[in-house]
Structure 1
Amino acid sequence: MQDIVDSRDRRLDPVVATSQNMTAVIDIGSNSIRLVVFEGPVRVPMPKFNEKVLCGLGRDLGQSSMLNAEAMEKAMAALQRYTFLVNHMGIDRVIVAATAAVREAENGAEFVAEIEQECDLNVQVLSGKQEARYAGLGVLSGMPYANGLVGDLGGGSLELVNVGDHKIGNTSTLPLGALRLSRMSFTKSELISYLHSQFEDVDWLDKVAGKNFYVVGGAWRALAKYHIRKTGHPLNIIHNYKLPYDEVMRLIREILAFSDQDINRNPYIQSSRAGTLKTAATIMEQLFQFTRPKNVIFSANGLREGLLFSELKKPVRKIDPLLEACRNMAAKEGRFAEHGEEIYSWLSDAFSELGNKGKRLALAAATLSDIAWTMSPDYRAPQAFRRIFRAPFSGIGHKGRAIIALAVYARYRGSFIGNAPDDALALVDNEARQHALSLGLALRLSHSLSGGTQGILPRTKLISKENEIILEVPDDLSALLGVQVNNRLAALAGCLGKSHSIRIREDL
C-alpha cells in the first residue's frame, strides 16, 4: 500500500493543478475578516473555501477615531492564518480590500502598513464610492436583471446603490454601520432622528421608491435566516430569498418587539448577530420610510463577488450566470456537455407557450438532465434532485430552482413519487408543478430516444398539435423506436392532456 501511495506523481496533486484557476479575496470589514477562495468559470466562480472571524475592528467608530487595539490583534491573527492558507494552496492571485473601519480610523494607515509587512499582502483601502460600487456589482453578478436599490449594511457603514439595466447608477455611503450604531448611546427616538437626517441627504432615493430592494450584509441577512428558520421555509438558502414589503415589515416589527433576553434565547437567531439585530432592523425600517420597496430580495453576493465581477469584460458580464453554472456542472458530471442544447431545441415546440423565464428554466433543466448518469439507477432521481435544489446557483429564485430540480427528478423517476421532491413541491403551485412534470417527461423521452448521445435528436421532431403530440422520426432511425420510447411518449402526451402518435418519414 505504501508503494502505491509513494508512486503517485505529486505534480498531479489537485492543489497544484487547479491553483491557477483560483482567486483568493480577503475582506477586512468593520465587523469581520473573511477569506473566500473562488474557483471555476470566471462568470460564476464557486467558493472553494469560505471562513470569517468576527474581530470588530469598527466597534469603537461611534466613540473613537482609532481602531480597537484588541480587535487589531485578533484581525492580525486571522490575516496571518489566511495568508498561510492561501500560500499553501498555491494561489497567486490574492485581492485584499479594507472598508469603512480602516478607511476612517486615524490609525488605519498604520494598521495597513503592519498587515503588508507581516503578511506580505497588498491591501487596497476602498473609498466609500468604491465600496458601494463593488456591492452593487456583486448583486448584479448574481442577479443580472436587478432593478432598484441595493443596500449593503456592514459593521461601519451603509452603502446604497441604484442598479438597473445591468449598470450601476447613483451611490451613497452613510456612517450607519450596524456595529457602529449598536455601540452608540442613542435612545430609540434619537436613533430614528439620526437615521432620518442621513437618509434625507441622499437626494436620489425618490428614483428607486417602489422598486425592489436588494439586501447585502450579514446584519441584514440575519433577518432572512431568522425568517427562513421560523417559518420552516423548505430551502435554507439566502440567495434570492424574496419577501413582499408587508411581510418584511411584519418581520421587522416582530424583531423590534423582542427584549434583548428574547433575542439571546431565540434558537432561530445567530448568537453572533444578536447584539446588532435590532439596530439592523431599525435601519431597514427607517430606510423604508423613504423607499417603500415592492419586494425585498436577499443577495448572498456582495463586495467580494463585485471585486471579481468588476474585472470581467462587458461581454463576459452579460453571460447568464445560471446557464453558465449549469453548463459547467454538466461538463463535469454529464456524459456530453452540449447535449442539453440539443434537447432544449428538440422539445421547444412542445413548450412554445413558455415566456422567456420559462424557456430559460427549460434550457437549464435540459442542460442538467444527465448529471446523475454515474449513480446507481435507484438513486439517480433523488441524487440529481438534491444536487440541483441545493446547488449554489446565481440568477435564479427559489421557485425557479424548485422547477428545475423537479423536472430533472421526473426525468429520472417519471413522476414525483418519493420523499425527495417534497421540499420543492412546497414552493410551487399546481400549475408550476404540472409544468415541471411535463418538462421532466419530455426530458425522459429525449434521453430514451437518443440514448443520451448527441446527433440523433436534431434529425427527429417533437411536434405539438392542439390535441396531439407527434414524434416524427426518419426511416433510417426507426430502429430506435420501441416499447420504452412509445410508453414515454404516451406519458408525456397524457400529462399534457393530449393523444400521441409516431410518424415515420422517408428522407430523400
Structure 2
Amino acid sequence: MDARSDPGTGDDPEWGPFQRPLFADPSVRHLSRVGVVDVGSNSVRLVVFDGAARSPAYFYNEKIMCALGAGLSETGRLNPEGRKRALAALHRFQLLAHGMDAGPLTAVATAAVRDAEDGQAFVDEVERETGLKINIIPGTEEARLSAQGVMLGWPGSYGLVCDIGGSSMELAEIKGGQVGRRMTSPLGPLKLREVPGGRKGRRAYIKAEVDKMAETLGSQRDRLFLVGGSWRAIARIDMDRQNYPLHVLHEYRMSTSAVRKTADYIRDSDLEALRSRCSISSARMDLVPLASEVLMEVVRAFHPHDIAVSSYGIREGLLYQQMPQVLRDRDPLIEACRFAEAKDARLPGFGRTLYNFILPIFRAARPEKQRIIKAACLLHDVTWRAHPDYRAEVCFDNATRANLGGLKHSERIFLGLALLHRYRNKREGTSFENLYQYLPPEDLLLAETVGKAMRFGAMLWLEKDSIPGEFRWYPKKKVLELRLTEAAWPLLGEVAMARLKSLATALSAELDVKMTA
C-alpha cells in the first residue's frame, strides 16, 4: 500500500510528523460516541466518550456513591440500600445513554458484585428492569482494563498500575504497550473497615497482603501509576499540603517522601476541615485514611522510582479495548489537539502548515519539546471566539486544565504559555503567574519564542495547505532569515512586521527578510 493512502503509517510524505488524521476514518468512526458503566464496590459511574480522537472528550460523566460493598464481609451480600440506589442509577444511565445516542452501553461489575452471594441475582435484576447487561469480571480482568486505561493516557508507559476500589486493590505490570502479570487483593477500604484488631491489626493485615503481592511480582522500581477515587483524593490532599496551584489530578506526580508526609498530614488533620478544603465527598473522605495506610505499604514494598496519578482507569480501558491498533499507536496529545482544531479552528489544517513553517527555528529542540510545539500549533486558533481582551488567558487556562492525555504538568504549563504568547507579547499581569515557577528560565524563553513565532505565522494565511515561505535560523550568527513567496509578500504588513521583530527580539537575532520567486 502506498504510504500516502495508509492512515496508519508514520511515513506519509504529505502529512509528515503529524500522520494522516484518523478520526474520520471508517475503522474508528464507530467510536464517535461510546458509553461505559462501571459498577464498583463504592460507586456506580456512567461515562460517555465523544470523538474518535486518541484522547477522547468526556461528553458525559456521572457518579453515584452507592457503597454496594459496605458490610459485605459480614453478611456475604450486597448492601441492600446500596443495591436500591445502584438499580435506580443504572435505570437512569440507560435512559441517558439512549438520549445521547451513545449506542449500547458496555457495563462491568467488579469486586463487590463478584464476591457477593446475591451478585448474580442483582445483575439479573438490572437486566430485567432496565435492559442493561452487566458483565461481572474477575479481579485480574479488572487489573488488565485499568492498565489499558493507563496506556490510553500514557503511550509507551512502563511500570506498575495500582487500582484501588471499595472492596479490592489490583496490580498490573505494563511495558512496551502490553499488560503483563496481574494480581488482585482484598485491600479495598470498605473491607479494611471490618478487619479486627483496630489500627494495629489492620496494619498487620495490609502488610501481609502487600508482601504476598510483592513476593510474586518482585521489586517494581519503575513508575507506580495510581488509579481510583481514593488515590485521587489523596493526591488532592497532597496538593493542599504543598499549596500546589495547578489542580489537575491526571499526571500529578508524587515522590515516596511526599506520600509519607501526606499520610502523616491526613492522620494529624481535622478530616472534616480537610474534606471541605479539598472538595472531597464525605463518603470518599471516610475511606481516605484507610487508603493512605494501603498506599504506604505499597510504596514500602515496591520501591517505585516515582508515583503518578492517573485519572484514566477501567472505564478508559473499556474504550481502549474497542480501539483498533492503528488508533492505539497514536499520540493521545496530538490526536486530541487535531480533533480540537478540526472542530473549532477557523482554518482547520493550518496548524500543520504553521508547524512546518516555524519548525526551522526549533530544530535544535529535543523531540519531547517539538511534540509540544506541534500541539501548540494545532491549538493556536481554537479559542478565537473568546473576547480579545481575555483570549490569551483563555488559551492558557484551556491548555493547563483541559482533558489532554500524555502531558506532564510542566508540559501543560509550557503549552499554555506558548499559546498565551500567541495572543500577547507579555506574560506578566495574568492570573497564572504562580505557575511560571514550575518552568526553568530556558523553558520560559522557549515557550515565549514559540508563541511569538505562531503569532507572526498566523498572519500569513493563504489558501489551505499553501506554504507562505520559510524561515532559516542561524543560531551562532544570531540571524533569522525569512524568505516569503511572492504570493505571501503582500501579507507582510505593518502589524505582521511588528510581530516578526518581536520574534527576532526574543531570539536576540538580526532580521533578514527576502522575497523568493
State the TM-score, normalized to the length of structure 1.
0.90
Q: Residues 205 and 286 of structure 1: is their aligned pair in 2 closer, same or farther, counting only changes over 3 Å?
A: same
CA distance in structure 2 between the aligned counterparts of 1:383 and 1:26, rounded to whole angstroms: 33
Letter in 2 for 1:256: R
Alignment partner of 1:263 out of 258, 263, 271: 271
CA distance in structure 2 between the aligned counterparts of 1:283 and 1:307, rounded to whole angstroms: 26
Q: Which moved more, 1:383-392 or 1:293-302?
A: 383-392
Q: Quick check: 1:459 aligned with 2:462?
A: no
Letter in 2 for 1:457: I
CA distance in structure 2 between the aligned counterparts of 1:96 and 1:118, rounded to whole angstroms: 15
- Aligned partner of 1:7 in structure 2 is none
- Aligned partner of 1:435 in structure 2 is 446
Once the 2 structures are TM-superposed, how far is the Cα of residue 382 of structure 1 from its aligned partner?
Answer: 2.1
**1:324-378 C-alpha deviation (Å, 9 max, x unpaired):** 1101111111122221111111211111121111010000001111123333433
Alignment partner of 1:307 out of 309, 312, 318: 318
**1:287-341 C-alpha deviation (Å, 9 max, x unpaired):** 1121121211101110000011012121210111111110111111112222111
Cα-Cα RMSD:
2.0
| 1:337 match: secondary structure | coil
Letter in 2 for 1:263: L
Once the 2 structures are TM-superposed, how far is the Cα of residue 452 of structure 1 from its aligned partner?
Answer: 6.9
CA distance in structure 2 between the aligned counterparts of 1:444 and 1:354, rounded to whole angstroms: 19
CA distance in structure 2 between the aligned counterparts of 1:177 and 1:68, rounded to whole angstroms: 15
Is the CA contact 1:386–1:405 (under 8 Å) kept in the aligned structure 2? yes
Letter in 1 for 2:376: A
Is the CA contact 1:43–1:309 (under 8 Å) kept in the aligned structure 2? no
CA distance in structure 2 between the aligned counterparts of 1:42 and 1:501, rounded to whole angstroms: 40
Residues 161-176 of structure 1 mapped to structure 2, 5 A cutoff: 161-176=172-187
CA distance in structure 2 between the aligned counterparts of 1:426 and 1:332, rounded to whole angstroms: 33
**1:220-269 C-alpha deviation (Å, 9 max, x unpaired):** 111011222343322221111112222222112222334xxx21232335
CA distance in structure 2 between the aligned counterparts of 1:455 and 1:317, rounded to whole angstroms: 27
- Aligned partner of 1:14 in structure 2 is none
Is the CA contact 1:252–1:285 (under 8 Å) kept in the aligned structure 2? yes
CA distance in structure 1 between the aligned counterparts of 2:390 and 2:432, rounded to whole angstroms: 13
Residues 226-237 of structure 1 mapped to structure 2, 5 A cutoff: 226-237=237-248
CA distance in structure 2 between the aligned counterparts of 1:379 and 1:199, rounded to whole angstroms: 50
Structure 1 residue ranges, 4+ long, deviating more than 6 angstroms after superposition: none
Is the CA contact 2:410–2:438 (under 8 Å) kept in the aligned structure 1? yes
| 1:50 match: secondary structure | strand
Q: Which moved more, 1:277-286 or 1:466-475?
A: 466-475
Letter in 2 for 1:268: R
| 2:71 match: secondary structure | coil
Q: Which moved more, 1:174-183 or 1:113-122?
A: 174-183
Residues 58-457 of structure 1 mapped to structure 2, 5 A cutoff: 58-202=69-213, 203-208=215-220, 210-258=221-269, 262-266=270-274, 267-269=276-278, 270=280, 271-448=282-459, 450-451=460-461, 454-457=464-467
Stretches of structure 2 lacking an aligned partner (at least 5 in a row): 1-28
Is the CA contact 1:62–1:181 (under 8 Å) kept in the aligned structure 2? no
State the TM-score, normalized to the length of structure 2.
0.89
CA distance in structure 2 between the aligned counterparts of 1:437 and 1:20, rounded to whole angstroms: 37
| 1:37 match: secondary structure | strand
Letter in 1 for 2:272: N
Is the CA contact 1:327–1:367 (under 8 Å) kept in the aligned structure 2? yes
- Aligned partner of 2:507 in structure 1 is 496
CA distance in structure 1 between the aligned counterparts of 2:377 and 2:248, rounded to whole angstroms: 23
| 1:350 match: secondary structure | helix
| 1:377 match: secondary structure | coil
| 1:416 match: secondary structure | coil
Q: Residues 120 and 233 of structure 1: is their aligned pair in 2 closer, same or farther, counting only changes over 3 Å?
A: same
Report how many aligned residue pairs link the two structures. Answer: 484
CA distance in structure 2 between the aligned counterparts of 1:465 and 1:358, rounded to whole angstroms: 18
Once the 2 structures are TM-superposed, how far is the Cα of residue 430 of structure 1 from its aligned partner?
Answer: 1.8
